[in-house]
Amino acid sequence: MASIEDLKYAARTVANNAEYIQVQSRACADTLKRHGDRLGVVGKGSRTILDARQRVAVAQRAVEQSAATLLTLRSNVDRFIAEIGK
């Protein structure tokens, strides 16, 4: 059976990994936004490029949602650690 300290360590590992991935996801979303903006400039009038820009925007929103969910996970794990420490 795992000790409270073992649980805290495992939870802290999850929280730290969630934070790391959240930061990387935010950077990815920012990159997707920049690429989408560039497509908008380059592809004025092109239906194919407009479609690509829309798909990049969908991907950007999905990555942003993922980052937000990871932030929530981090907060929940922090609360869990605080609760088991009482």
Per-residue pLDDT tens over the stretch 40-73: 888 778 899 989 999 999 999 999 999 999 999 9
Q: What single string gives the DSSP state of each residue in 45-85?
A: T-HHHHHHHHHHHHHHHHHHHHHHHHHHHHHHHHHHHHHHT
Specify the higher pLDDT residue, 84 or 28: 28
Q: How many residues does the chain have?
A: 86
- If you average pLDDT over residues 77-83, what whole number do you get? 95
Beta carbons of 13 and 82 less than 8 angstroms apart = no
List the domain range (segments joined by +) for residue 76. Answer: 4-81
86 belongs to a structural domain: no
* Cα(20)–Cα(3) distance, integer angstroms: 26
User: Which pLDDT score, from 0 to 100, does residue 46 have?
Assistant: 86
The model carries a pTM of 0.84
Residues 12, 17, 22, CA angle at the centre, nearest 5°? Answer: 125
51 belongs to a structural domain: yes
27 belongs to a structural domain: yes
- How many domains are there within the chain? 1
68 belongs to a structural domain: yes
